[in-house]
Structure 1
Amino acid sequence: MGNGIIKNLIFLKDCVLETIYSNDEKCICCGEETYDGRYICSKCEALIKFCSYGFDIQKEEINFKCYSVSYYSGAIMNLILQLKYKSNFQAGQILSQYMVSLIKNKKIKCDYITYVPMTKERLKNRGYNQGAYLSKMISKSLDIPVINCLSKVKNTKDQIGLGKEERWRNIEGSFQFLKKYCIESKNILIVDDVITTGATAISCALELKKHGAEEITVLTAAKSRV
């Protein structure tokens, strides 16, 4: 009964916030009127290059299944940049809805959702982790718990502009499992915004695997070059 009351209160809070922070029914990508209460217009959505298949990344003789909503271009790139650098959480809501649809369509099963962590310094500067935000939105839709089970313990260069091998070297040893969580024999979904070579997400996956996770799936809003 208590959980039901809490969920109702959260729903009411979200309704109030949606009213306060309404986007006046304009597409957040192009600014055109939408008239249907959506944050993205049908014209922009039609230009999204959705990915209809998953792909595998192998590291240390382990295959990790990966899925991305779309290629990193057009409206999806616009939404990711708005979420990541302009604190536009409406963009994050759209991305998370696409990600939830993909989870349902591909019948991805997981016990927990987690995300690629940031260093404390980077998190302080940005104010939020976009992967954590997407994870919470997905969790809210699917009622799957989010666990903050990884920490980033090493400052790294920005991966943008680095080659494939440079990315793996740059990220090596960056992530550490938080032992207060028990993930033994659990299926974990790792959420991130973009996957390029997979170095970051797969490094997280390997750390989870070392601590007993059964099956690890990577889900991103977009993919580039993979």
Structure 2
Amino acid sequence: MIALRTFELFEAAASLLYPPVCTLCSGKTRAGEYLCEQCEAKAMRIVAPFCQQCSEPFEGAIATAFTCANCAHRAIYFDAAVAAYRGRGIVRQIIHEFKYGHQVHLRHLVARWLCAAFDDERLRVRQFDMIVPVPLHPTRQRERGFNQASLLAELLAARVSIPCKPMLKRVRYTTTQTALDRAERMENLHNAFRLRRNSDVRGLHVLLVDDVLTTGSTLSECARVLKRAGAISVYAATAARA
């Protein structure tokens, strides 16, 4: 965390010395922005129709709310998971650079995409008591240097004035999820999370935060732990839907 604060000071100083340029094309952009208007326009928003449970978008003329077959035929413990953007193209590229390229400053852009999830009435009409980031295992967090979900959750919490607390911990180191299918992800994550000592979520409405929703297995397992500990409802928000 100290290293991150040092980076923030360096980031602020650099912004005074160098004019802002687009992260992707190096074209001119406005102060405080990371993409030019042309690149920003390539970020694909999720629009209806989409699954009300996991936000998976569908092609075709579906006029009524629906739940996709993947959600209907398995146990899902979150009440709904909402993402505003498709995890493709520049959105995928920016999130990848943020997580794996140590481009920590991009958290501000990714957090803006995350905040856009509150445009959706599934979140907009809710009153949440707490924001909880999806935790990384300590080994992976040491390797990466930060937990991307925590950074995004803190920025979101400041924006929407909801307390952010790390109520969960990851107690089992799991293999990377990227190459696993849905069933393998669920098995890989079983009993991987636990409520932190002295954490109390009884009677609370909780919002889980992560960077990307792929199959929903991670969010569902976290929601299962929170509900088993007494949370009334658990919704989820992510910056993108893969």
**What TM-score bracket applies, with the shorter chain setting the length?**
0.7 to 0.9
- How many residues in Structure 1 have an aligned counterpart in Structure 2? 212
Normalised by the length of structure 1, the TM-score is 0.85
Q: Offset at 1:217?
A: 0.8
C-alpha spacing 1:61/1:115, structure 2 compared with 1 (3 Å): closer
Q: 2:52 aligns with which of 52, 55, 64?
A: 55
C-alpha spacing 1:63/1:78, structure 2 compared with 1 (3 Å): closer
Pairing 1:213–2:217 present: no
Q: Offset at 1:103?
A: 1.6
Instruction: Provide, for residues 177-215 of structure 1, a one-character-per-residue CA deviation record: whole Å limited to 9, x for no partner.
Output: 114122111111111111111111110011000011111
Structure 1 SS opposite 2:169 = strand
CA contact (8 A) 2:53 2:79 kept: yes
Q: Distance in 2 between matches of 1:201 and 1:90?
A: 25
CA contact (8 A) 2:44 2:85 kept: yes
Q: Offset at 1:101?
A: 3.1
* Structure 2 residue ranges without an equivalent (≥5): 1-7, 55-70
Q: Distance in 2 between matches of 1:16 and 1:176?
A: 34
CA contact (8 A) 2:77 2:221 kept: no
| 4+ aligned runs moved over 6 Å, structure 1 | none
Give the 5 Å matches for 1:119-134. 119-134=137-152
Instruction: Provide, for residues 24-46 of structure 1, a one-character-per-residue CA deviation record: whole Å limited to 9, x for no partner.
Output: 21111222111454211111111
Q: 2:176 aligns with which of 139, 152, 158?
A: 158
Give the 5 Å matches for 1:4-43. 19-22=12-15, 24-43=19-38
- Paired residue for 1:111? 129
- Paired residue for 1:200? 218
CA contact (8 A) 1:79 1:92 kept: no
* Structure 1 residue ranges without an equivalent (≥5): 1-14
CA contact (8 A) 2:117 2:239 kept: no
Aligned identity (percent) is 26
- Paired residue for 1:70? 85
Q: Offset at 1:87?
A: 2.2
Query: Root-mean-square deviation (CA), in Å?
Result: 2.3
- Letter of the aligned partner of 1:141 in structure 2? R
- Letter of the aligned partner of 1:101 in structure 2? A
Q: Distance in 2 between matches of 1:61 and 1:102?
A: 20
Structure 2 SS opposite 1:159 = coil
C-alpha spacing 1:114/1:166, structure 2 compared with 1 (3 Å): same
CA contact (8 A) 2:206 2:235 kept: yes
Q: Distance in 2 between matches of 1:61 and 1:116?
A: 16
Q: 1:176 aligns with which of 181, 194, 214?
A: 194
Which has the larger strand fraction? 1
Normalised by the length of structure 2, the TM-score is 0.80
CA contact (8 A) 2:11 2:105 kept: no
CA contact (8 A) 2:182 2:215 kept: yes
